Amino acid sequence: MSPETTAPHRLLGTLLDEQARPGGPFCPAALRELDQAEAFPARACRVLDEFGLADHYVPAAHGGKLTDFGELIRLVRGVARHDLTVAVAHAKTFLGAVSVWVAGDREQADRLARQVREGHVVSWALTERGHGADLLAGEVTAERTREGWTLNGEKWLINNATRAHQICLLARTGEAGDARGFSLFLVDKDRLPPGGSAHLPKIPTHGIRGADISGIGFTDAAVPASARVGADGAGLEIVLKALQLTRTVCAGLSLGACDHALRLTTAFVRERRLYGKLLVELPRVRRILADAVADLLLMESVSTLAGRAVHALTAEMAVVSAVTKAFVPSTGDAMIAELGEILGVRAFFTDAHAEGAFAKLERDHRITAIFDGSTAVNRHALIKQFPLLARASARGGHAVKGLAAAAALDVPVDPLDPGQLVLAGHGGCSVLGGLPDAVERIRSLVRAGTAPAGFERLAGALLDSAAALQEELAAHRPTAGAGAAADFDLARRYELCFAGACAVHLWVHNESAVGDGSPVWADARWVRACLNRVLRALGEPVDREPDVADALVEELVRTEGRGMTLLSGI
């Protein structure tokens, strides 16, 4: 087998397709029944345990198999493609553990690594009933004692709070509202004193109904000194750095749900007849499908580059992760809604068509733009970095080697050095900073006759939009607090330019490595579709390229909705 067919995400994909057969834990009927009963998908999670998915949550430096965040995103995508509830339930352990990979000491990290690989569930408790995104308002306290710490208060709306063996939680150890007044603790639930903690009831939810969304309360719960992760008072900083990694990995949830939506819709348009024609022959349906394909490829471009940027542009992750988490789930929500229109009533059924899978994934996907920082929270995180980004852009230059390493898919990434994570993007954004060079490369390929002329026009238009955006950023005056409403529009445009630039870089750095005959890569189709979509969203006057859109829709139909990935052909 070639290395590509033995890639973990391919092996997992094959396994889950088998497990989705009638009677298997991933079969749509079984997953629907669990959802309707609001029951945890334990059998499906066991399949993932036996596959060793948790090994991929643990960095190789601690004995696991996590060497490439891009591969972790693909693994999460592979699970979410079958069921988002299962993906959220299982991958939560990565979110729970990651702060220890970022800031834990060697012994702590090695111990947790062993436990995760043995199947321990780890939860991440930031939110409280009275405070969501406003982490500085947290009221759970940890008071120092002679032996360690005593916890008091409630963490609520926590994924796997009840099922978890360990909970990584943020608690106040200093003055209320002080950014250095919080510390992080890895709490071993089995070692809490009797009566020191109590689980809170499962909260019924609109989507991911089977997940364990509950909470935990602490009453004078003693934990040892060794439970603290990182330095006293460093809790918030560690969380903000860890979020740069989790927000990037969450992209896999959206990609998988959108794969699923596209597959269900494609199956429908291939067999449904109206007015003597197949649905897929109707021009409006083809247009929606073409836009959905472009959206998915844009989401994949951002996620792919962001996953590799974790290793190659680590110091830029404050920007990259915020853009990724704002762009990918919100684009996925919109794409799913559009596809739902094609399915008509079948998107509304809870079991009469394809086990109600579309309605389920639509409900499930809603959470991806809410948790781990909502779209607004991530746009705000980006807005706060506008002055730094403007200064970096005025300075000029970008991380040429880092960008190449993030974009060239056939080059193995270096191990992540968590010490390189920083809270704000002082170094700017190489994805946008490197756009002029990439567009110049496209122009030279067009001149040489190896890239289509239409591509140059689109890439040039993106460059103009990005330049106009940079000018607006330079003129932008920050407002204190939550940011002006108009800033959020600017952030949205930043995301669109960033997404288009990701597609351009991935094309430029990989086009020569793609074998002949990939219908997605031929004539630069996928990247032209992405740029066309981005430019229209930016309000630029750009003609749709019907030949490009049509070729991609044909490929979508031919592959039964499975072939829409820029990795096809690589």
In DSSP terms, 273 is beta-bridged to 278
Candidates 51-59, 79-87, 122-130, 314-322: pick the segment binding ligand FAD (CB under 6 A).
Answer: 122-130
Tokens of 292: 């959905």
Is 274 a binder of ligand FAD (CB under 6 A)? no
Which of 7, 376, 467, 484 is close enough to bind ligand FAD by CB under 6 A?
Answer: 376
Of 47, 122, 158, 445, the one binding ligand FAD (CB under 6 A) is 158
Yes or no: say if 238 and 229 are a contact pair by the CB < 8 Å rule. yes
Q: Which residue, 76 or 293, is less far from ligand FAD as judged by CB?
A: 76
Mark 32-71 with x for binding to ligand FAD (rule: CB under 6 A) and - for no binding: ----------------------------------------
Alpha carbons 169 and 147: distance in angstroms, whole number:
19
Q: Which is nearer to ligand FAD, 158 or 200 (CB)?
A: 158
- Using DSSP's 3-state secondary structure scheme, residue 151 falls into strand
From 19, 99, 159, 266, residue interacting with ligand FAD (rule: CB under 6 A): 159
Q: How far is the CB of 384 from ligand FAD (least distance, A)?
A: 9
**Number of shown-chain residues binding ligand FAD (CB under 6 A):** 21
- Of 134-153, binders to ligand FAD (CB under 6 A) are 134
Q: Which residue has the tokens 């994949």?
A: 300
User: Is the Cβ of residue 71 or residue 212 nearer to ligand FAD in the bound state?
Assistant: 212
Shortest reach from residue 377's CB to ligand FAD, in Å: 5
| Cβ burial 318-351 (10 Å sphere, 16+ → b, else e) | bbbbbbbbbbbbbbbbebbebbbebbeebbebeb
125 lies in the binding site for ligand FAD (CB under 6 A): yes
- Work out which of 85, 127, 266, 465 binds ligand FAD, going by CB under 6 A: 127
Q: What would the x/- binding string for ligand FAD be over residues 467 to 496, using CB under 6 A?
A: ---------------x--------------
Closer residue to ligand FAD (CB): 93 or 510: 93
430, 403 Cβ separation under 8 angstroms: yes
- Give which of 211, 241, 244, 248 is closest to 72, Cα–Cα: 248
Based on CB atoms, which residue is closest to ligand FAD, 246 or 266? Answer: 246
- Closest CB to ligand FAD among residues 208, 462: 208
Give the span between the Cα atoms of 159 and 124, in whole angstroms: 8
Q: What would the x/- binding string for ligand FAD be over residues 334 to 373, using CB under 6 A?
A: ---------------------------------x--xx--
Q: Which is nearer to ligand FAD, 129 or 144 (CB)?
A: 129
Instruction: Find residue 417's DSSP bridge partners.
Output: none
* Residue 512, number of CB atoms within 10 A of its CB: 8
Which residues are paired to 200 by β-bridges? Answer: 215
Give 57 or 371: the residue with its C-beta nearer to ligand FAD. 371
Choices 100-108, 128-136, 176-184, 496-504 (CB under 6 A): range interacting with ligand FAD: 128-136
Rounded to whole angstroms, what are the CA distances from 87 to 46, 71, 222, 249, 523?
Answer: 12, 15, 33, 11, 35
Residue 205 vs 568, nearer CB to ligand FAD: 205
- Tell whether residue 380 is a contact of ligand FAD (CB under 6 A): yes
Q: Residue 99 — φ and ψ, nearest 5°? A: -60, -30
Cβ atoms 386, 479 nearer than 8 A: no
Helix (H) or strand (E) holding 156: strand 148-159
Q: Which residue has the tokens 């002949």?
A: 516
Contact status: 527 vs ligand FAD (CB under 6 A): no
Give the pair of three-digit tokens for residue 222. 């003693």
Closest CB 208 distance from ligand FAD, rounded Å: 6
CA 265 to chain centre: 23
Tell how far CA 370 is from the center of its chain: 12
Joined tokens for residue 153: 């208060």
Q: Are 182 and 172 in contact (CB under 8 A)?
A: yes
Residues 113/57, Cβ–Cβ less than 8 Å: no
Contact residue for ligand FAD among 132, 148, 224, 387 (CB under 6 A): 132
What residues form DSSP beta bridges with 197?
Answer: 218
Q: Is 80 in the site for ligand FAD (CB under 6 A)?
A: no
Minimal distance, residue 486 CB to ligand FAD, in Å: 13
CB closer to ligand FAD out of 126 and 296: 126
Q: Which member of 166, 266, 301, 374 binds ligand FAD (CB under 6 A)?
A: 374
297 contacts 259 by C-beta, under 8 angstroms: no
- Alpha-carbon distance 248 to 76, whole Å? 11
**Of residues 241 and 509, the one with the C-beta less far from ligand FAD:** 241
In this chain, which stretch among 156-164, 295-303, 329-337, 347-355 interacts with ligand FAD, using CB under 6 A? 156-164
Q: Which of residues 182-241 bind ligand FAD (CB under 6 A)?
A: 205, 208, 213
Q: What is the dihedral of CA 279, 282, 287, 289, to 10 degrees?
A: 10
Distance CA 482, CA 493 (A): 19
Binding site for ligand FAD (CB under 6 A): 124-127, 132-134, 157-159, 205, 208, 213, 367, 370-371, 374, 376-377, 380, 482
